[in-house]
Amino acid sequence: MRDTDLTKLLGWPGYRVYRHEIDEEAKTLKLWVRRKRGHQKLVCSGCGRALETAHDTNEREVRDLPCMEFRTTVVVEVYRVCCPDCGIKVEKVPQLPTKAPFSKRFEDAVGQACESAAARQVALRFGLAASTVRAMDLRYLERWAADRRKPVLAQMGVDEIHLGKKQKFITVVSNLDSAEPVWFDRERKKETLDGFFQGELTARQRMRITAACVDMWEPYRLSIEQWAPNCRIVYDKFHVMQHANKAVDEVRRAEYFRKGGAIRGLVRGKRWLLLSRWMHLSSPKRQELTQLFAMNRKIFKAYLLKESLDRLWTYRYEGAMVNYLHRWIEQLRWQRLKPFQKLAEMLVSHLDGILNYCRTKVPLGIVEAINGNIKSLLRRGRGYRNLRYLLLKAQRIASTRTEFVAFRKAA
Ligand SMILES: [Zn+2]
């Protein structure tokens, strides 16, 4: 095979193959490339300045996309330049964005593969270590993030996500308009969220925030009130319903321990069922629940209360919402359901923020979707020690999904 043909196959703009080696046994192809004549402009990798002359040359060996069945390595002639600003620096080569021994397009292929498969599987497919694949994926995502325009933050979500026993909670800030997470940090204190407002936004950007969907968690409220004076705090459906689910679960557990014998067998393993919406359950599952309800009135009542609280968000007028909530609390009387009484007190003391749902149009379900995406990433990835990686990964998922939805709308 001639080097000119290999140059065409390789397809690196501005570079030509001047030597090659094919090993049929090992199924490897090695190409030596250098700049084509007339492509002599060198660019400093430090500042991007174009320079006429080279200081010296060096060789770098990187793995590139495979050619047919042959694993392909490219040895690149790389120049160093003497830049008036940066001193002696290596030139900028588009296919060599980092010091890692891989071409950019090889890293892109690995990064793309990581979008639909776990790093371990991708590693197996490409014959790489899983840690190498994760590092490549991270660089791929960093490049993607650097190239895109960041959407304006007007409506935000603030959430806590439990990472596990060791890492505990992280605070997640999301953009409700672009439906993506924008920032993560460990802990869930006021100082944590302060860190976001202080470190990530200018005073002007903070003024632009009009609404925040948050949990009824004092530290977040205090931080938002301090930093974003134009922001309306909304205690949204998703967060309130999380508390309602917790109350159902507390009732279930109390009943499990209070009663013995047959009822224990019925209650065991029903946690998930009790936290599901009735309308989402199949008829055998509904039957299981009905059986349980027939045996235990308290659990039945708790479930009904949870289900009916959901309807609060069908009202778009403050008066109607308040009325409905009062009627809901009225039902708690004589029930002796401690967890629900506590929930009712919480709702009453946060009423203003709940009613803000009628005053500010915030998209429902976005916070929940972002939460769900992060949790499924955590389940698949088995612990992201690097929060930056987790954030980029979640952003990428969000953005590719929106593109998909946008495409479907157009079609
Ligand atoms: Zn320079």
Binned at pLDDT 50, 70 and 90, residue 373 comes out as confident
Distance 60 CA to ligand 1 centre (A): 20
Centroid of ligand 1 to alpha carbon of 88 (angstroms): 8
176 alpha carbon – ligand 1 mean position (Å): 40
Burial of 268 by CB count in 10 Å (0-12 exposed, 13-18 middle, 19+ buried)? Answer: exposed
- Look up residue 124 and give its two tokens: 């197996």
CA of 82 to the centre of ligand 1 (A): 8
Q: What is the mean pLDDT of residues 397-408?
A: 58
Ligand 1 center to 90 CA (angstroms): 9
Distance 147 CA to ligand 1 centre (A): 21
Which residues fall within 8 angstroms of residue 127, CB to CB, at 6 or more apart?
71
Assign 10 to helix, strand or coil: helix
For residue 301, give the nearest of 346, 336, 253 by alpha carbon: 336
Comparing CA positions, the residue from 58, 60, 3, 59 lying closest to residue 29 is 3
Which tokens in the block code for residue 338?
């401690």
The tokens describing 264, both together, are: 């224990």
For the chain, how many residues are written?
411
Which of 40-44, 116-120, 256-260, 313-317 comes out lowest in average pLDDT?
Answer: 256-260
The whole-angstrom separation of Cα 316 and Cα 95 is 55
Which residues on adjacent β-strands are paired with residue 242?
Answer: none
Radius of gyration from C-alpha coordinates of the chain: 29
Mean pLDDT of 360-373: 86
pLDDT value, residue 395:
92
Split at pLDDT 50, 70, 90, the class of 405 is very low
**Whether the predicted pLDDT of 409 surpasses 70:** no
User: Distance between CA 289 and CA 284 in Å, rounded?
Assistant: 9
**What pLDDT shows up at residue 80?**
94
Could you identify the residue written with the tokens 């999301």? 174
Among candidates 115, 136, 110, which has minimal Cα distance to 125?
110
- 225 by Cβ neighbours in 10 Å (0-12 / 13-18 / 19+) ranks as exposed
The DSSP call for residue 44 is B
Say how many Å lie between the CA of residue 39 and the centre of ligand 1.
19
Q: How far is the CA of 95 from the centre of ligand 1 (A)?
A: 19
Residue 50 CA to ligand 1 center (angstroms) comes to 9
Measured CA to CA, the distance from residue 362 to residue 155 in angstroms comes to 7
The pLDDT of residue 348: 95
Distance (Å, rounded) from C-alpha 103 to C-alpha 28? 16
Q: The pTM is what?
A: 0.83
C-alpha–C-alpha distance, residues 48 and 18, integer Å: 27
Using the predicted structure, report yes or no on whether residue 408 has a pLDDT greater than 50. no
